Structure 1
């Protein structure tokens, strides 16, 4: 007669034998999974940030008073790298551009630590602007710009322009000039005309003070910091609506 097998009884470990390791529980496995997911998300976020900085948007720190009152020292602005490029650059736009040569004194060594430099490189901290400048586009290729007429106004292609963004109390320019902007270049000026060493101050350099369109990093379109300075930096196309000539460059 067949007997039903009884329950399996645990066998005592042999003397001196090493106990089998306990199996990892679900809690330990969950922690490992969470760590892996966190690392993956962080890596993806860093890669996306680097790609955004390289091709789309970049933050910059404003180090000087040359664009007051539009921009204040310490403001952080976001720059679109799609202008010029897919989108046209117009008169009145505010642009960040690389020093075309001879505009800036040699920058002192950066006092940012390795971590800050790494975060700046991937776009999580704003550039300190040591090799960049920020000004407003006043003249496009082919424009003839002169200052000043008998009412102390700047003219573009013979048309006087009223500039509402110029720092209160500043003239259109305390320096007289007349220039025709060469092909592929721009004439740029700061809004605080008495505190801005812009195109007017470099007549002896290549382009007679103009900058290459290729030197433009992008168009500044918003102030994001500090919070009480939030502002949309729209262009001032209406100021130049009547001047004719080229209407935009890519």
Structure 2
């Protein structure tokens, strides 16, 4: 007896009695099912898709940065030769509004005065430099720019100066408005202050600076470590009077992601709210 367990007979109304060809189920499966590629062939496509997703996240959502100096101590830890904090900087917040007082922001140096000590981190070898540039799109290599991290103290239209009788920074919202003293619990290291000589300039060992009126669309930024931060105060002689255009802000520092002992949110206390 012929075993037809792997075949079927296809027939229909009006069958004229002619023999109907038999179709193998194996043949049907071969014709109807798409052959799956080996994993080693699909792997490059998966890596490519993953790379595109990472590049989009780095470009539009946020990326990690390393803190290289002590200018934001103790909020953010960093120093030459030590393990600096790794922070995550998100971009979404500033798609819907500008930075606010108290935000810790990463920005690119806006003028030559900010960038005069910056040295490119790219290789002099053309091929290696090209690879580094590509890897930077995916967040695997830092961008070749002078990225800085500071806290927003005053925003466009406000006037800022130092100091009052307690050595505090003062901000004025409008030319004829009252001056308000800032509440800055995040500042642990500052220059000495002598109430008998409140006008000693910061570059002479004191705290006094300004007044400076921040242009619309710009920010006045300072490091939490006031004694060791080359911030807006140090660049008041440039064309922007030390202020930073909002367009040069790369994002908002929101979380410390490394090392484990430092993991946690980044303080964003608004100093103008008492």
TM tier, smaller: 0.7 to 0.9
Q: Which runs of 5+ in 1 are unaligned?
A: 5-28, 243-250
Bigger RCO (CA 8 Å, 6+ sep) = 1
Determine whether 1:94 maps to 2:94: no
Cα distance, 1:118 vs. partner? 4.0
Q: How big is the alpha-carbon RMSD for the aligned residues of Structure 1 and Structure 2?
A: 2.5
- Contact 2:189 2:224 (C-alpha < 8 Å) held by counterparts: no
- Contact 1:77 1:221 (C-alpha < 8 Å) held by counterparts: yes
Determine whether 1:45 maps to 2:57: no
- Contact 1:60 1:129 (C-alpha < 8 Å) held by counterparts: no
Q: Which residue of 1 aligns with 2:240?
A: 207
What TM-score comes out, normalization by structure 2 length? 0.70
- Contact 1:63 1:129 (C-alpha < 8 Å) held by counterparts: no
What TM-score comes out, normalization by structure 1 length? 0.76
Aligned pair count?
A: 212
Structure-to-structure mapping, 1:99-138, within 5 angstroms: 99-101=109-111, 102-104=113-115, 105-110=117-122, 118-125=134-141, 127=142, 130-138=145-153
- Contact 1:81 1:217 (C-alpha < 8 Å) held by counterparts: yes
Q: Which runs of 5+ in 2 are unaligned?
A: 3-34, 79-83, 173-178, 194-201
- Contact 1:147 1:176 (C-alpha < 8 Å) held by counterparts: yes
Deviations along 1:77-136, whole A, 9 cap, x unmatched?
1111123222442100001111111213131444696666543331245x2775111100
Aligned CA distance change for structure 1 residues 129 and 59 (closer, same or farther; 3 Å): farther
Q: Which residue of 1 aligns with 2:181?
A: 160
Question: In structure 2, what is the Cα distance between the partners aligned to 1:142 and 1:87?
Answer: 16
Q: Which residue of 1 aligns with 2:159?
A: 144
Secondary structure, aligned partner of 1:240: coil
